[in-house]
Structure 1
Amino acid sequence: MRISLLFRQSLLNVLLASASLMALAASPVQAQVRGGTLNVILNPEPPVLMVGINQQTPTQIVGGKIYEGLLTYDFDLNPQPSLAKSWSVSPDGLTYTFELQEGVTWHDGKPFTADDVLFSLKEYLPEVHARARNNLSHVSSIEATSPSTIVIKLKEPYAPFINAFEMSSAPMVPAHLYRGTDFRTNPANQTPIGTGPFKFKEWQRGRYVLLERNDKYWRPNLPYLDKIYFQVIPDANSRLVALENGSVQVASFGDIDFAFLPQVRANPELEVTTKGYEFAGPHAAIELNHRVKPLDDVRFRQAIQYAIDRKFIAERIFFGAARPATGPVSSVTRFYDPNLPKYDYDPKKAIALLDEMGLKPDANGKRASIKLLGLPYGDTWTKVSEYVKNALSKVGVDVVLENTDAGSWARRFSNWEFDSVVEYLYQYSDPALGVDRTYLSTNIHQGGYGTNVSGYVNKDVDATLRAAELENDPAKRKQLYSQAYTQVANDAPTAWLVELAFPTITNKKVKNVTTSAIGVAESFATTYIEK
């Protein structure tokens, strides 16, 4: 096999990573940074810590310290070593070869082997992980050609495949605990066992999740921290107070109400960054259930689009930590096209579409009524739901707000138990990895998180997205995605809201929190507290 350019780059990455670890191990600073307990806000409390079953943000934040994937990704979205120390791609783009790290053990002491990789990719993930199922559908075979070598052959070229191996996209799962069991009800889901730098110790529901240092971690002299407490703090004001008084040292995503960002940025003991969300590309929207009238009518969905002022949401609710979404693809995602049909704020157009449908206002001005299931991730998202209710009332659509906890939200979202629902999904750097899944009719699977929950069906879109997945020429892929998402924009299957630029807030004594494009969902192996 001829060594590809990607393989040469991967070897360089491995050498650089090894050199960095050796330099760090030899540094006298190491003795000063080892030890300590880190407190991280966890909001809301996740329903489970098994990333393979649940990919909601809180699950990823904790699970990323326990579980690992074959790769991780730098800020420029280039693949970097994780459980795979090196990799190569054949010139025809059909064969991916991964060389695994040596001396890796699961937290229960069992060795991590190629068999675990085979089980994870062939059995476990296709069963429980909707996004992984789609990525792995392109695979014709997965084999272990040696105890430390995995060879994956694709049915056809699939350009985004190399970006599908980080912890939340393809977590490695212990075959000895899951093989032959019901994956969703396996007791190991409650006491997770991974290969990561921290081991699960305790979960006091409603209070905290405690992880402890993995003394047998495969990366030499890591991790630095002894313990991580993920503190469950439901009240927004209490989260801010805890951050400012130092009882917690890390907040991320929407932990701190965006209205407090100016106050946080002015605090000399805190640092704020929006780095670490590059791979995720979080994109907020309202999913609309096409099985429910009048949401099955494209004119009603378009009316909702026109009735929403995205600039108001970005500036007045997220205080500049978000950008108005212009369509289904985020501006930070590959093949974004700024020229797709847009829905600028125009209530008059919304009213005209509702009139065209024959939805005339009654004596109270109400034309129709729908339910909106809010996202249970804090006060900011409550404000989003309240704004949508207010905005749609101005065009005669009555919105009944529904609230629930994170676990029930995920269940209802996955099982289509909603009229409309506020969500944000990750786009994972490429439409084929994080956008197409929402609009492909082949990805309508009840009970699967991150699937096509709206029930949107357009066979032309299916065919064009499929062609884009299989095309290796970037220019042709861009053309195909523009074609597909122009049709999606016209069909308005969801109501796009904002592209999120979440802040990660840390106490200045805490170092190396954001080290890759995976952000706070990274392993924290090199995170330390300055003495």
Structure 2
Amino acid sequence: MRHFRPAALAAALFLCASFAAHAQGVLRIGINEDPDTLDPTVNRLASGRQPMTAICDKLFDVSADDLSLVPQLATGYEVADDGMSFTLSLREGVKFHDGEPFDAEAVRFNFDRHMNTSGSFRRTELAAVDSVEVVDPQTVRVRLKSPQASIVLVNLAERAGMMVAPAAAQKLGERFGTAPVCAGEYRFVERVPQGRIVVERFADYWDPTPGGPDRVEYLPISDSTVRLSALRSGEIHIAERLTPTDLPQLEGDARVKVVSAPDLGYHHIRYNSNNGAMAKTFSDVRVRKAVDLAIDRQAIVKALFNDQYLAGNQFVSPQSQYYDQAHPVPARDVEASRRLLAEAGVPNLTFTLLVPAERERQEAAQFVQAMLAEAGITMRLETQENAVMLQNSRRGQFEAVFSFWSGRPHPDGNMFSHVSCQGPQNDSKYCNEELDAVLNKARETNDADERRKLYQQANGILAENVTASILWHRRTFTGVSSSLQGFVPHPDSTIRVKGMKMPPPTR
């Protein structure tokens, strides 16, 4: 059984304890947008991960430095020699917020819920799971359809590993996301749409180590300039997703510090190539390539983000070992763009791009709009609230959409759900059997060199078919009140509240 070293865990707990003798105060966090739902099974917006991380403990978490698995509700695991199953040991003495005990039966319930709920975004993440067996109250065996233990375990450190209270989930059904009950350090109190999400410390939390503040309020503020102003005025203590152009305003401001970390995700324009009547515009790969070639990624990164982001064109960063060097970030080629459009019979292409109200994507969309105009392409911009935009994308009610993926430690998490034929987030309904075969083979191999070659092959297929124009990979910039102690940035952009020490109240 792969148990995590007590010494390492004790050191981590000591570090958390050193931040505060006891939790106190109200921590206010400005998040990028109002989440869609607080149900980990059907949540899609990255902003939902912020409050859900406080409310819903996972079977595992990942470390901030090397993204290795660390214990949360599971204390260890053992992979069978044939790779066709793994066994989890569960933490004892854990209660859900409604008092229901956390045990192996609860884990089995959650796997079943993630895998079988209509509209679940976790289904693909757990697609390799064949069955879940209760060995004893603190032990679960997960049997697999193919040897994909490493991928499934990594996914259990994300929303697929969040455990909800079975009784509450059964009682609330589709309404569970309006009043989630989990086993995290904080319990849900209330949600005011477009106003705030409030959580407070759970008295019976399994970890007795002094934690964070007594209460946390998540405030959706879509404009990063407004988030920044709220941070500087003291209205909030943390502002997520500041943009590089915000940073000069903070120079010399002793009230605020900026913490940055590399980001696992990417921003991209997704083309509807096969989802309903609106797919006609981009069903021809030559049209998708034409738009892609008219975009200057380096110019976007330099002009809008002060070269703080990294231009990209694949589902992993150019710095990743899985990046396909045979298909580097393309240079802009307006003449080639015009030729492709003429060949496709649409020399005067016109289409609409859906964009959320977020400033970063709004400015980038306008920049791209001007670039495309030089290639004879008219791109209209339609602003939609992000949750509405994603709903329309799923229904095929779009030609192109400016989307963002927060990223996963394993490249499978950045690709499979978005481009495999049955991927739940494949809003374009793009389907390529050759690509599916490569991605499935990459899921099953335990050979690191073979896996790297397979993902490079997959990236090559996607580069030729241009399912999306991936534009850049961020660094996350988080604004933090200088008086707040214990904030640790994470590559998945999710804020862990545990261990933060609130500043003393002002009089």
TM over 0.5: yes
| Aligned residues of 2:25 and 2:214 also touching (Cα < 8 A) | yes
- Residue 520 of structure 1: aligned partner: 494
Q: Which moved more, 1:295-304 or 1:241-250?
A: 241-250
Mapping 1:277-356, distance limit 5 Å = 281-291=264-274, 292-331=279-318, 333=320, 335-340=322-327, 342-356=329-343
Q: Which consecutive aligned stretches of 4+ in structure 1 deviate over 6 angstroms post-superposition?
A: none
Supply the distance in 2 between the matched residues of 1:380 and 1:23 (Cα, whole angstroms). Answer: 35
Identity within the alignment, %: 24
Alignment of 1:38 with 2:19, yes or no, is: no
Whether 2:396 is the aligned partner of 1:409: answer no
Q: d(CA) in 2 for partners of 1:415 and 1:436?
A: 19
| Contact 1:322/1:502 (8 A) holds in 2 | no
Q: Is the 8 A contact 1:36 1:226 kept in 2?
A: yes
TM-score (norm 1): 0.88
Q: Distance in 1 between matches of 2:70 and 2:199?
A: 25
Equivalences for residues 127-206 of structure 1 within 5 A: 127-128=117-118, 131-158=121-148, 159-179=150-170, 183=173, 185-186=174-175, 188-206=176-194
CA offset digits 1:492-526 (Å, max 9, x no partner): 1111111111211211221222265444343x122
1:267 maps to which residue? Answer: 253
SS at match of 1:396: coil
Residue 468 of structure 2 corresponds to: 494
Amino acid in the other structure paired with 1:168: R
CA RMSD of aligned residues (A): 2.2
Contact between 1:299 and 1:354, CA under 8 Å: does it hold in 2? yes
Distance between the aligned counterparts of 1:51 and 1:521, measured in 2?
A: 16
Conserved in 1, the CA contact under 8 Å of 2:265 and 2:474? yes
Q: Does the 8 Å CA contact 2:228/2:479 hold for their aligned counterparts?
A: no
C-alpha separation in 2, matches of 1:112 and 1:69: 12
| 1:98 to 1:38, Cα distance in 2 relative to 1, 3 A | same
> Measured at CA, do residues 404 and 371 of structure 1 come closer, stay the same or move farther in structure 2, by a change above 3 Å?
same
In the superposition, relative to structure 1, how do residues 129 and 87 fare at CA in structure 2: closer, same or farther (>3 Å)?
farther
Match of 1:97 in 2: 87
SS of the residue aligned with 2:164? coil
* Superposed displacement of residue 201, structure 1: 1.4
CA deviation profile, 1:421-444 (whole Å, cap 9, x unmatched)? 00011331222222122221132x
Q: For residues 421 and 323 of structure 1, what CA distance do their matches in structure 2 show?
A: 21
CA distance in 2, matches of 1:415, 1:334: 35
Distance in 1, matches of 2:171 and 2:189, equals: 26
The answer to whether the Cα contact below 8 Å between 1:334 and 1:431 also exists between their aligned partners in 2 is: no
SS at match of 1:150: strand
- Pair 269,199 (structure 1): closer, same or farther in 2 beyond 3 Å: same
Q: Provide structure 2 residue ranges, at least 5 long, that are not aligned to the other structure.
A: none
- Equivalent residues of 1:427, 1:435 under 8 A apart: no
Deviation readout 1:133-163 (Å, 9 max, x if unpaired) = 1232212221110101111122221142221
Query: How many Å apart are 1:19 and its aligned residue?
Result: 4.3
> Measured at CA, do residues 460 and 167 of structure 1 come closer, stay the same or move farther in structure 2, by a change above 3 Å?
closer
Task: Describe the SS at the equivalent of 2:453.
Answer: helix
Q: What SS does structure 1 have at the residue aligned with 2:160? A: coil
User: Compared with structure 1, are the counterparts of its residues 341 and 68 closer, same or farther at alpha carbon in structure 2 (3 Å cutoff)?
Assistant: same
Q: How many residues end up aligned between the 2 structures?
A: 498
User: Which residue is 2:351 aligned to?
Assistant: 370
1:117 is paired with a residue of what secondary structure?
Answer: helix
Q: Give TM-score scaled by structure 2 length.
A: 0.92
| Partners of 2:187 and 2:319 in 1: CA distance | 34
My pick for the range that moved more, 60-69 or 219-228, is 219-228
Once residues 156 and 427 of structure 2 are traced to their aligned partners in structure 1, the CA distance between those partners, rounded to angstroms, is: 24
Contact 1:375–1:421 (CA under 8 A) maintained in structure 2: no
1:66 equivalent in alignment to 2:40: no
Aligned partner of 1:409: which letter?
M
Q: Residue type matched to 2:133 in 1? A: E
- Aligned with residue 418 of structure 1, among 357, 374, 398: 398
Match of 2:207 in 1: 219
Shift of 1:190: 0.8
Q: CA deviation at 1:84?
A: 0.6
Greater Cα shift, 296-305 or 43-52: 43-52
Aligned to 2:437: 463
Q: Distance in 2 between matches of 1:490 and 1:323?
A: 21
* CA shift for structure 1 position 484: 2.1
Deviation at 1:125, TM superposition (A): 4.1
Q: Does structure 1 residue 453 correspond to structure 2 residue 433?
A: no
Question: Which of 414, 420, 423 matches 1:434?
Answer: 414
Superposed, 1:48-127 pairs within 5 Å as: 48-74=37-63, 75-127=65-117
Unaligned runs of 5+ in 1: 361-366
- What letter corresponds to residue 261 of structure 1 in structure 2? L
CA 1:320 to 1:270, structure 2 compared with 1: closer, same or farther past 3 Å?
farther
Query: SS of 1:272's equivalent?
Result: strand
